[in-house]
Amino acid sequence: MNETIPLDEMVDGRGGVRQHWRRLLAVFSDLGHRELAARKRQIAVALSDQTGSPLPIEALSETIEGRVKPRRSDVVAGQSKPVICDPLPIILRAEEFAALEAGVIQRARLAESLLHDVYGKRETLALGLLPPALLWANAGFMRGGELEGQHGHSRRFLSSFAVDVVREQDGVWRVLAEQSVRPDGAGVAMEARRQMVRVAPEFFSGQDLRRLGPFLDIWQESLQRAAPEGLTNPGLALLTPGPHCRDWGEHVILARELGCVLVEAGDLAVREGELWLKTVRGLRRVDVLLARQDGRALDPLEPDGTGAGGVTGLLDAARAGTVRLVNDPRSGFVEAPGLAPFLAPLANRLLGENLLLENAASVWLGDEAGERCLEEILRSDLETPARRSVAWKIGSALDPAEPYLRISELSAVERAEAVDRIRRAPWRYVARPVLAPSVAPTVGVAEFVPRPVTMRLFAVHDGEDWTVMPGGLASVYEDAVPTNGDAREHVVKDVWVLVNDQIAPREHPVHLATPLPIRRSLGDLPSRAADDFFWLGRYLEQIDSAARLLRVVLAHMAGGEPSPRERVDLETLVRELRAVGLIDEIPAFGYGLSALTHTLSRAMGEQGLFGRILRKTLRLVPELSDRLTREMRDFIIHNSNALLDKLAAAPGRSEVSRSIARVTVITDALLVYGATLSGLTAENMVRSGGRQFLDLGRRIERASLVLSCCAGVLEQPGVYQRGRMEAALRLMLEICDSVITYRSRYFGVVQPAPVLDLLLLDADNPRGAGFQLAALRDSLGELANAGGTAPAAQRAASGELSASAAQVLDSLTMVVASVLESQNQDRAAADAPEALRSACASVLSLSDQIGRCYFSVLTSPRLVGIIGDDLVADSHDEALA
């Protein structure tokens, strides 16, 4: 086969550097490969942190002191597509982009006209411009009937559109694929540009580039204007399959940039022909839904539906005109690869224009010319590669998601089966020659290397005309480019468009926004997000409370071998460690503290309680990426990974002194971790919304731990004796971190009633149960008294929850009162554990009741409370461990 030399984006055919690349070449030549490789890793980590997508393998390790140190962010990232941004961009001259811009706009207009035709009069079918097989068997063609209300006055199928282009060896840009269902990538392009500016500011010095920001502003405005008529502040939502879909990171960025609520199908419901978002304040109407999943998966009741997932009745609501779907779910028709050979005559018929951007060569195998081409391909594939003039791939003409086959690379059996399958239904297939795309400089493992690239260009309709993003997203490939342009590895490049004063950018009208009414409420916090915040609060408190308990244990071990009385305290503390799940079994004390030291050292491994909770916490971050502040998100990701690294670095069994020092260091780090997150929550999050449910989770967890520990300490044998009771009370104060407060009030005298009052009732002691229960009562009362769209039944249920918290507080009041009034306070306190255990169970039951009242019914596993003899960890957590 004759080797084709691909065009180089940076170097011309004579070996010289193209004029518009020279300034950038000087910069990255000065920086060198090693520095740019480091910045490439920085950008990859930043993109992972910002989007919740996993780190690519290339960025999962960092060389530290000659060793490869694995990062743990990938443990919690699900199955979303990793994104790594090569710091060397693609540079387009202004006149070159202007030609591409005109071609993309024409393609969008053609796609819109074709959709109106195939779902309307079908004149192209009657005139023979479109083969019937490419219409009726098209994977994107939906037979759900006309969605008249869906289009309203504008009757548009497409509001956003993307085109994948490739520059072949003749220097001409050609279209590889069109994206209408999920034209993803604009959000990643925007975030990649931001990170490029942050990490490599030298690249932008002296460069006059077109900005990307205005494109998203126009897109956001177009979504506002797409709403049904008469709405001045429509509800916008972006529908995503969830954190495990390939483009989750893209969806997080788009929702943030476009002002949409990021939702999954379970967050939505259709009631009386209207689409609603399920929030903690009841249902909130959605007027525009930016759908980022296949049209067949949107509504399980439709004839073309997949039968699973989706929102029941969604397309009926769209037909009624109460919600606008962007894009129209039927727009996937234009993505079929088999349409490419027919687009030129279709453009002549529908637009009266010649195609400005031609397609990459392709042949539909369903007519006579296609049959001849197939036979030629099959004969050619039997020849040796040296004699073969061109290599071909064969793929589906009807479904762009199906992979292409290179028949010459199949075994004899596979080849026979494939050829038989194609010959039985040739109209289902399209053939394309293997591409020879242009190459661009890329930061490789050891040096700069040229790699094949394609480019995706984005367009949105602003209500009057199409607007193309002045840039795009280039995809980099190791060797061969996928025939449909889909980059699974997803190494990307920023695309720069240079400014030319002689070429004026397209002007766009400015529309005045309608003034908004003032709102102060929970807003549109989805029930699923509230559930995630609630459990984030519980996980954070589990870490903090267990670390505080461990700190008390370490303090009691610091004095060397304990006396008999000190051993009783230590044994009580160890039982509490087992109760919270920090250790699996109680060590024998017959050999001093060495057995306990080994037990604690093992507990501080990455498979222990702290490791499991940290991984659970990390797994929640992607799901809350659009609602956590940047500081809080970054802190959780970086510091959770740092703590997991510490937990993984376990010392040898014989290194007792080092073991106890390591446990102390990690315990201090865990306490700083919890305290910092408490401060970020208090200072950076609005009191209502996510913070309110995060706070509810923390209060339930802390109250249950205080009650359980107090009961456990008072269950010691012989605790009713004065000497033992005093030691038990001091231990309770230590566990609840209330020694300083008690001492400031009562000096050195320790008695049951004052201690129990401080730990169980005092509403001013943030480490006591009374403070937590008062906060629960007040917060649930606020939800009960909230107005807005919350249904009366939900408000009533909140009132009952608030009353339940108050009842627990009343029961504790009775416990303290009985101790205070008793002639023998020690004996009365020794009888309190049963009441405390009952109160603890009531507090934990509040968690279930809150879930039934406010949260969606979820299948996501949770690591339930650390209180109790059994620690429940889900199978997925064990698999990750």
Q: Residue 17 carries which DSSP code?
A: B
300-326 burial by CB neighbour count: b if 16+ within 10 A, else e? bebebbeeebbbebbbbbbbbbbbbbb
Q: Residue 761 carries which DSSP code?
A: I
H or E stretch covering 285: strand 282-285
pLDDT of residue 158: 94
Give me 816's structure tokens.
């303290």
**Distance, CA of 467 to CA of 362 (rounded, Å):** 28
pLDDT of residue 871: 41
Contacts of 465 (CB under 8 A, 6+ apart): 105, 506
CA 276 to chain CA centroid, Å, is 22
Mean pLDDT of each 10-residue bin along the chain, 881 residues long: 76 87 91 92 84 60 37 46 87 95 97 94 93 92 62 72 94 95 92 93 90 92 85 88 85 90 91 90 90 88 70 90 91 95 96 95 92 85 56 90 85 88 93 91 90 96 92 87 56 93 62 52 74 94 95 87 83 91 80 80 89 93 82 89 88 63 92 93 80 94 95 89 88 94 90 94 94 94 70 79 93 95 92 95 92 67 48 37 32
How many CB atoms sit inside 10 A of residue 703's CB? Answer: 30
**Distance, CA of 503 to CA of 210 (rounded, Å):** 12
**Distance, CA of 18 to CA of 15 (rounded, Å):** 9
Q: What helix, strand, coil percent values describe the chain, rounded to 5?
A: 50, 15, 35
What pairs with residue 433 in β-bridges? 392
Angle between helical axes of 186-199 and 213-225 (0-180°, round to 10): 150
Contacts of 772 (CB under 8 A, 6+ apart): 699, 700, 702, 703, 706
CA 515 to chain CA centroid, Å, is 32
Q: Residue 759 carries which DSSP code?
A: I
* Nearest alpha carbon to residue 524 among 317, 160, 852, 233: 233
pLDDT of residue 624: 86
H or E stretch covering 166: strand 160-167
- Report H helices in 71-158: 94-118, 123-126, 132-136, 148-151
* Nearest alpha carbon to residue 73 among 873, 674, 621, 646: 621
pTM for this model (two decimals):
0.83
Contacts of 374 (CB under 8 A, 6+ apart): 365, 394, 422, 423, 426, 431
Give me 864's structure tokens.
């339930």
